Amino acid sequence: MEQQVQIDFSDQGSGNAVVLIHSGASNNRQWKSLADDLAPHFRVIAPNMHGAGETPPWHGPNPYSLSDAAALIECLCDSITGNISIVGHSVGGAFAMQTAAQLGARVDNLILLEAAPYDLLRQAGSNHAYGQALALYEFVRDGQSAAIGSPSQRNFSMLSLEEVRGRDE
């Protein structure tokens, strides 16, 4: 589990919580415009992940994992009362899926934008990492575990590239 770390994050607005998780090559400032638009209606929390903003880089004993990233987000979610919505962009989408899996029924909505292309892991020979990402995707998609809870499973939709191409034809 995550060691105690000082998390840099923005927090604005009030109401139901929306957690915005940035892409790997960015920081929480990528969400400034969206956060400003949402803040009159929601509490908007946007953490800087490890190595972004003032959040220190990962220094755990093992390589950085989806669970490590989700633990950072969970630390922020512990201070939120009620259910939350999670938005993740690119690799932040993988972090969002893992966080949703760990938080279960507390997650009302899971929104993924340009989720990371995990098949590239398989193509690069990173079969273990690909297997983890695929298992997580299937876990969230199928809602097989009570841990995911029905609200987030109902509101989760992720299409493969083949499904998107099929719709265009």
* Per-position b or e across 119-148, b if 16+ CB within 10 A of its CB: eebeeeeeeebbebbeebbebbeeeeeeeb
pLDDT of residue 157: 44
> Does any domain span residue 116?
yes
pLDDT tens-digit readout, 78-131: 989 999 999 999 889 889 988 988 898 899 998 888 776 666 666 667 777 778
Domain count, the chain: 1
Chain-wide mean pLDDT for the chain? Answer: 79
Distance CA 30, CA 22 (A): 7
> Does any domain span residue 66?
yes
Question: What average pLDDT does this structure show over 62-91?
Answer: 91
> Does any domain span residue 103?
yes
Print the domain residue range for 159: 9-168
> Does any domain span residue 126?
yes
Beta bridge partners of 17: 43, 84
Beta bridge partners of 12: 44
Distance CA 39, CA 61 (A): 37
Q: What is the CATH number of the domain that holds 57?
A: 3.40.50.1820
DSSP, res 121 = H
> Does any domain span residue 2?
no
pTM, rounded to two decimals: 0.72
> Does any domain span residue 87?
yes
pLDDT of residue 166: 43
> Does any domain span residue 3?
no
For residue 36, is pLDDT > 90? yes
pLDDT of residue 118: 67
pLDDT of residue 125: 73
Question: What average pLDDT does this structure show over 45-71?
Answer: 91
pLDDT tens-digit readout, 127-163: 777 787 777 777 766 654 444 444 444 444 444 334 4
Higher-pLDDT residue of 80 and 66 is: 80
> Does any domain span residue 134?
yes
